[in-house]
Amino acid sequence: MLLLAGTIPVEGLPLTYGRVSYLGDKLTIGDYTLEGQYVTLGTAAMISAASVVSQALGAEDPLAFVIGDTGMGEGTVTLLKHLTDELSAIKPSVVTLHYILPTRDTFINFVEAAHKMEKRPFMIADAGALLNAKAVKLAQKFDLFTPDPGEISFLADPDAAHPAYVQHFIFDVDQTEVPRLSQEAYANGDAPKYMIVKAPIDHVIVDGQVAGVIKEPSVPAMEPIGGTGDTITGEVSALIAFGLPVVEACTAACKINRVAGELTKPNPATTIAQFIPFIREAAKKVVVAKG
């Protein structure tokens, strides 16, 4: 079972959980339905993408835990404490942790609880969870990170506690910098076994080494669109939970996002809400049609 968790920027939203289903422009989590702009922000974009890919594959719906948090961290702490207590009862095979406010003890306790499970889930982190894992030196307790160029620069800088403190930032991902930074991050213990470096050229990394490069189709207008990185994280989560080998799932997720981008025909003002519905067709083209 795939478990997705993170915060939603809705003030006062209590801890909400259940099976998820994206339909039309609505995302349902248990009994709670997010509509309009709330569907497609941060964690919700990731969950929507995972739901759409699961539907395209005919897989079971993912389970999600979300809570309101607009940056002060109260929601994050409640969410992590709850997951820490409930993880062994839920028994997920894959856990994806997304937008959270970095914390110390609650985050460490959650990761330790996952590692104490009889069968440890495959652990994925992106966004705040990725920043948090590196800052508290627990990156290698995870299996997969999905950084963008800013985040891989951060992972490779052993002294940086946040991307704002990175001394040598890369903006343009090329064939030299991504392999070098990935290798450095891994050697420093600040990257897990697998990574997708999400950028105009995507890289799949295994043990600090490049295992795949995905360039096509190329859709430059996707870069400004907020949420296109979040959707890759949701897509790869669904594919791994479905049983695809990890490298294959990473490669397929990058392709699905690119094909969805091509189908969307975006410009820099396109919203992620307009993008997500095309993921279904893209997933079918990339994964289902190939059996």
For residue 224, state whether it binds other proteins (rule: CB under 8 A): yes
Residue number, 272 or 286, with CB nearest to other proteins: 272
Between 134 and 258, CB nearer to other proteins: 134
Name the helix (H) or strand (E) containing 211.
strand 209-214
For other proteins, which residue of 24, 89, 118, 164 counts as binding (CB under 8 A)? 164
When asked if residue 122 is in the footprint of other proteins (CB under 8 A), the reply is no
Q: Is 231 in the site for other proteins (CB under 8 A)?
A: no
All residues at 6 or more sequence positions from 191 whose CB lies less than 8 Å from its CB, including other chains: 139, 140, 145, 155, 182, 185, 205, 208
Q: How many angstroms separate the CA atoms of 50 and 19, rounded?
A: 12
Q: Which of 115, 140, 158, 165 binds other proteins (CB under 8 A)?
A: 165
| Distance from C-alpha of 277 to C-alpha of 129, rounded to nearest angstrom | 26
Stretch of 111-119, 144-152, 182-190, 234-242 lying at the interface with other proteins (CB under 8 A): 144-152
User: If binding is defined by CB under 8 A, does position 162 make contact with other proteins?
Assistant: yes
Helix axis angle, 149-156 relative to 127-135, nearest 10°? 10
- Location of structure tokens 């907020």: 226
Per the DSSP assignment, residues forming a β-bridge with 23 are 26
With DSSP H G I counted as helix, E B as strand and the rest as coil, what are the percentages for the chain, rounded to 5? 45, 20, 35
Which tokens is 68 given? 């309101």
Q: Which is nearer to other proteins, 161 or 206 (CB)?
A: 161
Stretch that binds other proteins, among 26-34, 123-131, 205-213, 283-291 (CB under 8 A): 123-131
Sign of CA dihedral 40, 42, 44, 46: positive
Rounded Cα gap, residues 125 and 98, in angstroms? 6
Should residue 89 be labelled a site residue for other proteins when binding is judged by CB under 8 A? no
Q: Which CB sits closer to other proteins, 78 or 93?
A: 78
Question: Taking the complex as a whole, how short is the minimal distance between the CB of residue 240 and other proteins, in angstroms?
Answer: 20
Q: How far is the CB of 132 from other proteins (least distance, A)?
A: 5
Contacts with other proteins by CB under 8 A lie at 7-9, 37-38, 41-44, 69-73, 75-76, 98-104, 126-132, 134-136, 148, 150-151, 154, 159-167, 169, 171, 221, 223-229, 267-269, 271
